[in-house]
Amino acid sequence: MSDKRLTENETRACTAPFFSSLAGKSDVKQALNGMLSIFALVFFDLLAVGISFLLAYAVRNHLLVVFFPKLFPEAILPDTYRYLWWVPFIILFFLAFTNLYHKRLPYWDETEKIIKASTLSLLFVIAFLYLAKIGSEVSRTYVLLIWFFSIFALPLFRYYGKLFLRKINIWNRPALLVGYGEPARLVISALSREKTIGYEVLGIIDYGYKKSDREYRRSQVNCIENIPVLGCAAEAEQIIASSPVQDIVVATSGLKPETLVNLTNRLQPLVRNVFLVPELLGLSLQGIEIKYFFEEQVLLLHIKNRFKSTSNRVLKRIFDLMAGSLVFLFFVPVIMVVALSIKLDSLGQVFFVQRRLGRNGMLFNMIKFRTMFQHSDVLLHEHLQQNTVARAEWQQFNKLITYDPRLTPVGRVLRTFSIDELPQIINVIKGEMSLVGPRPYLPSELEQMGSWAHDILLAKPGLTGLWQVSGRNKISFAGRLKLDSWYVKNLSLWLDLVLLLKTIRVVFNREGAY
């Protein structure tokens, strides 16, 4: 064997600690864990559906009868339960039909599929009751309530159920990562964050290492994100073949297409599953379709321009108008109290109106609660002149992070809890902004936006957005541009709903608020 290659015994010796950590993870045990996982998920789903039945019963028989006696004069007909005993099995069927007992998906992707499966179940139940001519014997309100509670209960029970299965080492799936650099770090970060997927990267085969294997072993170039590096590309077959791991993630950058194809073909016969992470960062992913031609062996990615879809824009506008109006009515008392507090705290107007860039670069007046003293520009200029740290923060973030002398006492509280942005609901109702969208940029920032502006200004700016739930003011200006561009390319109503729910968590935790 060449001096640049380790012997088989040396490879085994170097990777012995890694392989010992996988003791017991044989094919038989992995297959058994797979079956146990399916049975456990079915149990969690039945439990969630059972809870949904009970909650629907409580609401229909004890709340609606009391608060809406004219619409619901009496309790559920006794025959309702006899006619609906089969509904849980229909829900399980549609969950299985959407492959939710075998696929390992990120939480929000799984939740979207669960809602679709539950909705299909509802439509099937309603159609069956109508065709069987027993609709008059069953409370339709009760059926709708079961569906309503199930779309919350099923994702919740699955989430905590999978965390429990991970804790007892049933849902866990060991994996190896073949790659290096930023793609490898991104994959490790994603799998660590999405705990319910269950994949654990236990070792890395560093495809990017260029030195000899012996030099590599002596330097032990350590770990990537605390994951041990087991070897380099020349040892890939030996390491994989000697381990019980059946899942490989390939995440490399800078490889020629033929090299990447060759690498994947080398690894595929050794394991059950190979996950390939292509270098397509920033590409629109929502609704992407894969097409292929067998004879030419050509792969096509069909990428849709979601902003060219009239139905998408209309649906988003209807959602903004309805949800925005409800939010405004709900927060009217809060707005009145805040307005009075600002007036008593410092001199100046209650609202701060500023020109911002809207869709297609059109300027509009964005409304916020005033959080700064009068002559704030003078205070900012003096502070930047005297403080080098502040100047560095301003250049990187276009904001002051450590300390901002322009903020009033009430303004600091409003900024901490993002209450200063509430009046932007008016901009949403008027159609100048959206509930979710890119950050509303200043006209003076247009030059800094560079080529990113072409994508970002296709959409209305948002009251919240991807930048808000990903770190807010902790993210650099360049980072915000990338996030906003990605959002515009991947626009969907489901993405908006997810970001709105995440915003609630961010606001309550005061993440990145300054």
Report angle CA 20, 22, 27 to the nearest 5 degrees: 130
**pLDDT for the residue 286:** 65
What spatial distance separates the first Cα and last Cα of the chain, rounded to whole Å? 61
DSSP alpha helices (H): ranges in 132-256?
Answer: 140-167, 181-193, 213-219, 236-241
Q: How far apart are alpha carbons 122 and 154 in whole angstroms?
A: 14
297 within domain boundaries: yes
**pLDDT for the residue 151:** 95
Other beta carbons within 10 angstroms of residue 7's beta carbon come to 10
Last residue of a domain, one of 254, 289, 304: 304
For residues 365 and 448, membership in a common domain is answered with yes
386 within domain boundaries: no
Residue 199 in contact with residue 247, Cβ under 8 Å? Answer: yes
Its domain, for residue 225, covers 8-23+172-304
Provide the 3-class DSSP secondary structure of residue 513. Answer: coil
Beta bridge partners of 176: 203, 248
Provide the 3-class DSSP secondary structure of residue 470. Answer: coil
Other beta carbons within 10 angstroms of residue 308's beta carbon come to 9
Per-residue model confidence as pLDDT tens for the chain (514 residues): 333 334 444 444 444 444 444 444 456 777 788 899 999 999 999 999 999 999 998 898 888 888 888 777 777 766 777 788 899 999 999 999 999 998 899 999 999 999 999 999 999 999 988 888 776 778 888 999 999 999 999 999 999 999 999 999 899 888 888 887 777 888 888 888 888 998 888 888 887 655 444 444 434 444 556 788 887 777 888 888 877 788 899 887 777 777 788 888 888 888 888 888 877 666 666 667 777 777 667 777 777 767 667 777 888 899 999 999 999 999 999 999 999 999 888 888 899 899 999 998 899 999 999 988 888 778 787 778 887 777 887 777 667 777 788 888 898 888 888 888 899 999 999 999 999 999 999 998 888 888 888 888 988 999 998 888 876 666 778 888 888 888 888 888 888 998 998 888 887 776 655 5
388 within domain boundaries: no
How is residue 463 annotated by DSSP? E
Q: What is the pLDDT of residues 171-221, one digit of tens each?
A: 988 888 888 777 788 888 888 888 899 888 888 888 765 544 444 443 444
Provide the 3-class DSSP secondary structure of residue 204. Answer: strand
Q: How far apart are alpha carbons 428 and 238 in whole angstroms?
A: 59
Distances (CA, A) of 211 to 13, 176, 253: 20, 21, 18
The owner of tokens 């909705």 is 119
**pLDDT for the residue 219:** 40
Last residue of a domain, one of 111, 143, 167: 167
385 within domain boundaries: no
Residue 100 tokens read as 């939710």
For residues 465 and 435, membership in a common domain is answered with yes
For residues 159 and 199, membership in a common domain is answered with no
387 within domain boundaries: no
Report angle CA 364, 367, 369 to the nearest 5 degrees: 160
122 within domain boundaries: yes
Residue 138 in contact with residue 80, Cβ under 8 Å? Answer: yes
Q: What is the pLDDT of residues 111-164, one digit of tens each?
A: 999 999 999 999 999 998 888 877 677 888 899 999 999 999 999 999 999 999
Element (H, E) at 226: none
For residues 102 and 236, membership in a common domain is answered with no
Last residue of a domain, one of 304, 331, 364: 304
For residues 188 and 163, membership in a common domain is answered with no
Q: How far apart are alpha carbons 206 and 219 in whole angstroms?
A: 14
For residues 315 and 419, membership in a common domain is answered with yes
For residues 115 and 149, membership in a common domain is answered with yes
Q: Report phi then psi at 342, rounded to 5.
A: -65, -40
Non-local (6+) Cβ contacts of 405 within 8 A are 379, 380, 382, 383
Most distant CA pair in the chain, distance: 89
pTM: 0.75
Other beta carbons within 10 angstroms of residue 165's beta carbon come to 20
For residues 243 and 159, membership in a common domain is answered with no
Residue 249 in contact with residue 179, Cβ under 8 Å? Answer: yes
Q: How far apart are alpha carbons 50 and 46 in whole angstroms?
A: 6
For residues 248 and 314, membership in a common domain is answered with no
Domain count, the chain: 3
72 within domain boundaries: yes
392 within domain boundaries: no
Torsion of CA 142, 143, 149, 151, to 10 degrees: -170
Of 352, 405, 362, 402, nearest to 381 (Cα)?
A: 405
DSSP notation for 307-367: GG-HHHHHHHHHHHHHHHHHHHHHHHHHHHHHHHHHHHHSSS-SEEEEEEE-GGG-EEEEE
Q: How far apart are alpha carbons 354 and 144 in whole angstroms?
A: 45
For residues 61 and 200, membership in a common domain is answered with no
For residues 176 and 283, membership in a common domain is answered with yes
How is residue 23 annotated by DSSP? T
Residue 345 tokens read as 């705290």
For residues 128 and 260, membership in a common domain is answered with no
